[in-house]
Structure 1
Amino acid sequence: MDVRTAARRSLAVIRLVNGAAALLAPRVMARRLGADPGQPALVYVLRMFGVRTVVIGAQLLCPADADERGRQLRTGTLIHASDALAAARAGREGLLPRRMAAAATAISTVNVALTLVARGRPGRLPDVR
């Protein structure tokens, strides 16, 4: 398996696990974020996040031509970069505990890196076979 395929599949698994957790256990996710799991709006938002994340994760495992795969990965880069910025800002503004904000920022930053590797950015390391 080449590096780009490994990055794409790793990203898909991360998305599926995190998305399923948010979709199926939003109160658990809320507690892990340091938030009140009894807030109905938060449960709704986490489920919405979960659906989005499961869908974009599953797309990476389905067959696609090069153009479609490129669109998926470019969109993923934008999504994960905005998630990283939102998490960092939430930590800075005290909306999330610093530790959880740092973890969420790190996860989204890793996801950005995986999308860039999977896309095969210019100057990337050669594929390992």
Structure 2
Amino acid sequence: MDVRTAARRSLAVIRLVNGATALLTPRVMARRLGADPGQPALVYVLRMFGVRTVVIGARLLCPADPDALDRELRTGTFLHASDALAAACAGREGLLPRRMAAAATAISTVNVALTLVARGWPRRLPDVR
């Protein structure tokens, strides 16, 4: 298995696990984030996040064609970068405990890196001797 395939499959597994957790046990995830699991709106938002994350994870495991896979990975780069930024902002503004915000930011940043590797970045630069 090449590095690009390993990165894509790793990203798919991360997405499926995190998405399934948010979808099936949103109150557990809320507690892990340091939030009140009794808030119905939070449970709803976590389930929406879970559905989105499971769908994009599954699409990485079963791509329709190379162009569709590239679109999924480009979209994933944007999604994970915005997730990382949102988590960092939530920590800075005190909306999440700093430790949980740092963990969420780190996870999303790793996911950004995985999407880039799966797309073949960094591309090898030509030798200019």
Which interval holds the TM-score relative to the shorter structure?
Answer: over 0.9
Unaligned runs of 5+ in 2: none
Shift of 1:65: 1.5
- Separation of aligned partners in 2, 1:10 and 1:123: 20
CA deviation vs aligned residue, 1:7-37 (integer Å, no higher than 9, x gap): 0000000000000000000000000000000
In structure 1, the residue matched to 2:63 is 63
2:102 paired with 1:102: yes
In structure 2, the residue matched to 1:49 is 49
User: CA 1:41–1:18 in 2, change beyond 3 Å: closer, same or farther?
Assistant: same
* Paired residue total: 125
- Separation of aligned partners in 1, 2:119 and 2:102: 26
TM superposition score normalised by structure 2:
0.94
Q: In percent, how many aligned pairs have the same letter?
A: 90
- Separation of aligned partners in 1, 2:2 and 2:87: 31
TM superposition score normalised by structure 1:
0.94
Please state whether the residue corresponding to 2:61 is helix, strand or coil: coil
Unaligned runs of 5+ in 1: none
- Separation of aligned partners in 2, 1:72 and 1:2: 19
